[in-house]
Amino acid sequence: MMTKLKVTVLTLVMAFGLAAPLCIASPALAADPCAGKTGPAKTNCEKLHEGTEKAQTTDQSIPEVIKNVVSVMMFITGTLSVVMIIYGGIRYTTSAGDSSKITSAKHTITYAVVGLVVSVLAYAIVSFVTANIT
């Protein structure tokens, strides 16, 4: 049963981790303004919108990109921390009084909270540095 729980947690974390970069790239994935046009109308539309792809991809400065990457990593870390706190809580409640299982569950919860605090501090430091660079 614990193996199924670990696989489920790992799958959820990977799904969030793979979906998060799409949130950053969403402006670059905007709909094609020339979609649905054919022939000369499409050619004219392409000429009209020529160069907008470059503007969309080079719009962000390096500090903004760093801040976006750190935000995604913060989201992943936060999600993983909450999942591990829940997992530690489940282990704590199902320990049936076994002191070694209780200690292990308490360590899981403690390390998850410490990881969350460290990631929040890292986010604050990166935000401070990027704000002072620009």
Residue-by-residue pLDDT tens, the chain, 134 positions: 556 655 555 555 555 554 454 444 444 444 555 666 666 666 666 666 565 554 455 567 787 888 788 888 888 988 999 999 999 999 999 998 899 999 999 999 999 999 889 888 888 888 888 788 76
3-state secondary structure the chain: CHHHHHHHHHHHHHHHHHHHHHHHHHHHHCCCCCCCCCHHHHHHHHHHCCCHHHHHHCCCCHHHHHHHHHHHHHHHHHHHHHHHHHHHHHHHHCCCCCHHHHHHHHHHHHHHHHHHHHHHHHHHHHHHHHHHHC
pTM as predicted: 0.53
